[in-house]
Structure 1
Amino acid sequence: MSGVEKRFGGVVALSGADLEIGHGEVHALVGENGAGKSTLIKVLTGYHRRDAGQFTFLGQPFDVADPKMAQARGIATIYQEINLVGFRSVAENVCLGRPFGRFGFINWTALNAEAERLLGRLNLSIDVRRPLEDFSIATQQMVAIARTLGFSSRLVIMDEPTSSLNDREVEVLFNVIRQLKSEGVSVVFVSHKLDELYAICDRVTILRDGRTVKTAAMSEISKLELVAAMLGKDLGRIEKSGVTGFGSKSTGQHEPLLAAQGLAHRPRVHDVSFSVGKGEIVGISGLLGAGRTETTRLVFGMDKPESGSFAYKGTAFAPVSPKDAIAAGIGYCTEDRKGEGIIPLLSVRENLTLALLPMLTKNGIVDEAKQKQVVDRFIKRFGIKCSSPEQPIRELSGGNQQKVLLARWLALDPELLILDEPTRGIDVGAKAEIQALIRELAEKGLGVLMVSSEIEEIVEGSDKAYILRDGRTVATLKGDGLTADAMLGAMAHGADPASPSEVAQGTGR
């Protein structure tokens, strides 16, 4: 693809974008949200018509009218947002778009066998006759990948394919990619997770503001150089400030806010203890399945602990529902931004003030003037990029959607904010903005409990971190002891957890 241009009205989405992919190559495509990655993919696959540019595929000029034609020509795409049919069976979803039968009758035996064969390539053994919606998001992602394998494509585009996968599933996917590569199939790999790019990709193309700014072999570009090129910043500044946007850590003592002791909610949570102080960012880390999200659900009253206790602002605390937690001054940003966070068809205004509505309403009527004041204040304060407060939130980038969710809870003026994967699926520029915002809020006294799969985010952003393993707190890390090596060691082998008295009193910092 060379000299690609695409405009939407007066907005330039692509201007001078180039992308060259070799046979049997795994090629990374990276850039901030809004850099043009999705538009470039949609232009290639016929979802959008290009305004200018030349395409060749397998040595021949290439031009398709729609994604179905691109698929027939040998290009398949796996999107970040799973585009499958939840109420139909796994087998039907795997084989969607392929004929299995004659004269309008489906050969269910052949269809189910094909689905089992393709899922077997991903080391996934499930009942393919069950509805897809019965399975986890991670399994649905693997089904989407299996569907693509059935088309015998020559080029597979994977847009954030690991966003819902655990470490074992990621490695299975990487093995499939390596197998595709050995068969001469090329892969375009879009991801914000830099470690994944270095693990699986041969080369990288970096987009910024709709232009290709650099193409290089992964072995010839460092992580910091990659980030600097994506952001258009000087490498020296990136080296000085670090990869994240958290800035300097808090070094003072923190007045106790929340302390949890011996929490259990089987099968995922067995013995978890931690504490959060006012103005403190506390990280919760561990491998997927360690009980991180399940622990935060207990704090927010979404689940009730079978044993263990909470102390909140010095008194016993036992939330029965999220309503109790909200009333106590606790907010919760879920990791599933699309499924549990935003309401896609509603506007930015409606999403932002959702939790605040009881305080904006009298006799069932919303005070629109007060609502507008709140919305305008947070859009300006957080730099939320939208055409107007009435724009549907589904049209915003992931980073701006996340800012709206943060604003939703901060409009309530909480004392404790739970953030479950606050920067998942967000480009490094938007990540830095959100991370800097989290630090700013903590400096003003907000207690933050942050779950993250990214070790750099925990190391650079947390004042203290608790490592969970198999549903138990196995290590408390702080100060100079909070390092990537220490975290990895605790995840792999465990360590002595903080003493019960230390955690219960909220002094384990």
Structure 2
Amino acid sequence: MSARGISKVYGGTRALNSVDFDIRAGKVTVLYGENGAGKSTLMRIMSGVESPTAGTLTLDGEEVTFASPAQAEARGVAIIHQELNLSANMTVAESIFLGREIKRFGFVDTKEQVRRTQAVLDLLEEPIDPRATISNLRLGQQQLVEIARALDEDARVLIMDEPTSALSATEVEVLFRVIRDLTDKGVAIVYISHHLDETLEIGDHAVVFRDGELVATAEMRDIDLKWIVSAMVGRSTDDMFTVIDAAVGDTVLEVDGLTVADPTQPGRLAVDDLSLSVRAGEVVGIYGLMGAGRTELFETLIGRNRAQAGSVRLFGRDVTNTSIGDRIARGMYLVPEDRQKDGLVQGQSVGANLSLASVTRFTRLGITDGKAERSRNADVIGSVRVKASSQGAPIGSLSGGNQQKVVVGKALLTEPQLILLDEPTRGVDIGAKADIFKFMAELAGSGVGVLFATSEVAEVLNSTTRILVMSRGRVAAEFTPASATREAVLAAADDSELVELEHQQMETEGAAE
């Protein structure tokens, strides 16, 4: 499949500028670029989600026009979107066959849909019940459902836009085996990921976008991580992390014996007798695999989940049973893992999303001071470097990384004294990651306590003052960045398969260098 001279203009913004792009049968073409570079826009055009302003698409040498994703799927072109697109109230099987239901005698053949769903989940080696409701699945499991849906479509061209952003390393390994099986059968795959190390492992051909234009191409065997980063943003990977220079002050958060039930698995504890503390000026990183209990911990700290036992104290005050609003008012704020579901209101503008959690600061006698609100929003947009045409732009018009910056900026507007960040760099490019780590370091420097969770070892090793490792709902180990190693952190996470995989990745990286 090929794109020739593809351009896309939104209002006065040119997202793509006369792009040529080729997808090869039986190969994985990795598409690189910062958020807003135009990658997802091109993929939406090639999969029928959007129409180009100019340019043509060809499939097997024949010019094609897709008026909808259904038309693209009918020609064998499928896409796994960066942002999850599932109906929360449906079952896994219903979600996979939504819009293409299997029918018998005019009725949906539920039994056959469940059978085929189970088959594709078995291929992914994921123990998800096809009859489970989507809302009861963790984010990583929902991402696997999206992947399963695309695999069942038996596509000839498969576009994967950030397919692993919420997956564990073990699940990524399984997905890569599936990808190689598909390419062996001649399927052409486009792979987009901000996990640059994994792209070196799975890719055959590299293409780099910058500011809506194709700027570089190469065979994967001829490049390394430094080449990718330089082509994308013109900066070194060494520039990603900001040195934390902050005086450590009084304790802002004390968690003692916290126990929380797992909302997705009755009878299981998501957080099990956990204790920790965070002081002003600290950046405490929590590393753990999917299912370790990190998200459940954070949602309990902010008041979304109810604790079965234990206590949460903020500045010495017990807030275990207080509301979310009370905790925000007292200086705590959570940047959630799932920005689409929990961090943003899609029908609102950039500015409205930014000030949503702090609008009372600009309101008096029921009247909002719009000028003051816009002025403060502008300060935050500049601080976290949001790229948007205006505060009035729809939030959905922003790239994933810029949407994440809006979620972070919304937290900043509440003037937090303790900020919780759950996977703050999920699905964002290296430039946006650097901005987020700089933001965290600046908060610590101003005396704010920072607690963040990540599934990337490099992040806790390079952007913290203290490291906690969670496993099975508990703190399994504690390190300082000076004493921690990748191997020690992985071993504490208690997954021997992951340790072996990481060793293999390090050997691959060493060979590439």
| TM-score class normalised by the smaller sequence | 0.7 to 0.9
User: Closer, same or farther in 2 for the Cα pair 1:309/1:126, shift >3 Å?
Assistant: closer
Q: Report the Cα distance in structure 1 between the residues aligned to 2:408 and 2:53, rounded to whole angstroms.
A: 37
What is the match of residue 15 of structure 2? 13
Answer yes or no: is the 8 Å Cα contact 1:6–1:50 preserved in 2: yes
Q: Larger Rg: 1 or 2? A: 1
What is the match of residue 343 of structure 1? 345
Residue identity over aligned pairs, in percent, reads: 39
Q: Report the Cα distance in structure 1 between the residues aligned to 2:375 and 2:14, rounded to whole angstroms.
A: 32
What is the match of residue 40 of structure 2? 38
Per mean C-alpha deviation after superposition, the further-off stretch among 101-110 and 75-84 is: 101-110
User: Which residue of 224, 238, 242 maps to 1:247?
Assistant: 242
Answer yes or no: is the 8 Å Cα contact 2:464–2:481 preserved in 1: no
Q: Give yes or no for the alignment of 1:463 onto 2:458.
A: no
Q: Superposed, which structure 2 residues align to 1:144-159 within 5 Å?
A: 144-159=146-161
Tell me the secondary structure at the aligned position of residue 125 of structure 2.
coil
Q: Superposed, which structure 2 residues align to 1:385-404 within 5 Å?
A: 385-404=387-406
Q: Superposed, which structure 2 residues align to 1:14-163 within 5 Å?
A: 14-50=16-52, 53=55, 55-58=57-60, 60-66=61-67, 67-98=69-100, 100-101=102-103, 104-124=106-126, 126-129=128-131, 131-163=133-165
What is the match of residue 451 of structure 1? 453
Q: Deviations over 1:301-359 (max 9, x none)?
A: 22343333444435555352212311321111111101011111112222222222333
Answer yes or no: is the 8 Å Cα contact 1:24–1:180 preserved in 2: yes
What is the match of residue 263 of structure 1? 258
Q: Report the Cα distance in structure 2 between the residues aligned to 1:92 and 1:469, rounded to whole angstroms.
A: 32
Q: Superposed, which structure 2 residues align to 1:106-505 within 5 Å?
A: 106-124=108-126, 126-129=128-131, 131-233=133-235, 238=236, 241-242=238-239, 244=240, 246-250=241-245, 252-266=247-261, 267-314=269-316, 318-492=320-494
Number of residues of Structure 1 aligned to a counterpart in Structure 2: 486
Q: Report the Cα distance in structure 2 between the residues aligned to 1:293 and 1:38, rounded to whole angstroms.
A: 27
* TM-score, structure 1 normalization: 0.87
Q: Report the Cα distance in structure 2 between the residues aligned to 1:38 and 1:329, rounded to whole angstroms.
A: 36
Q: Which runs of 5+ in 1 are unaligned?
A: 495-509
Off by >6 Å, runs of 4+ in structure 1: none
Answer yes or no: is the 8 Å Cα contact 1:17–1:207 preserved in 2: no
Answer yes or no: is the 8 Å Cα contact 2:168–2:455 preserved in 1: no
Q: Report the Cα distance in structure 2 between the residues aligned to 1:450 and 1:99, rounded to whole angstroms.
A: 41
Q: Deviations over 1:459-497 (max 9, x none)?
A: 111111111111121221114113323322322379xxx
Q: Report the Cα distance in structure 2 between the residues aligned to 1:394 and 1:374, rounded to whole angstroms.
A: 21
The one-letter code of the counterpart of 1:5 is I
Q: Which runs of 5+ in 2 are unaligned?
A: 262-268, 497-513
Q: Report the Cα distance in structure 2 between the residues aligned to 1:416 and 1:409, rounded to whole angstroms.
A: 10
Q: Report the Cα distance in structure 2 between the residues aligned to 1:429 and 1:310, rounded to whole angstroms.
A: 35
* TM-score, structure 2 normalization: 0.86
Q: Report the Cα distance in structure 2 between the residues aligned to 1:305 and 1:97, rounded to whole angstroms.
A: 40
C-alpha deviation, 1:5, in angstroms: 3.2
Tell me the secondary structure at the aligned position of residue 212 of structure 1.
strand
Per mean C-alpha deviation after superposition, the further-off stretch among 76-85 and 123-132 is: 123-132
Per mean C-alpha deviation after superposition, the further-off stretch among 149-158 and 159-168 is: 159-168
Answer yes or no: is the 8 Å Cα contact 1:271–1:473 preserved in 2: no
RMSD between aligned alpha carbons? 2.6
Q: Report the Cα distance in structure 1 between the residues aligned to 2:97 and 2:186, rounded to whole angstroms.
A: 23
Q: Report the Cα distance in structure 2 between the residues aligned to 1:283 and 1:127, rounded to whole angstroms.
A: 33
Tell me the secondary structure at the aligned position of residue 189 of structure 1.
strand
C-alpha deviation, 1:400, in angstroms: 2.2
User: Closer, same or farther in 2 for the Cα pair 1:40/1:309, shift >3 Å?
Assistant: same
Answer yes or no: is the 8 Å Cα contact 2:4–2:56 preserved in 1: yes
Tell me the secondary structure at the aligned position of residue 485 of structure 1.
helix
C-alpha deviation, 1:149, in angstroms: 2.4
C-alpha deviation, 1:157, in angstroms: 0.6
Answer yes or no: is the 8 Å Cα contact 2:56–2:64 preserved in 1: no
Q: Report the Cα distance in structure 1 between the residues aligned to 2:8 and 2:400, rounded to whole angstroms.
A: 21
Q: Report the Cα distance in structure 1 between the residues aligned to 2:205 and 2:280, rounded to whole angstroms.
A: 45
Q: Report the Cα distance in structure 1 between the residues aligned to 2:51 and 2:363, rounded to whole angstroms.
A: 46
What is the match of residue 497 of structure 1? none
Per mean C-alpha deviation after superposition, the further-off stretch among 217-226 and 48-57 is: 48-57
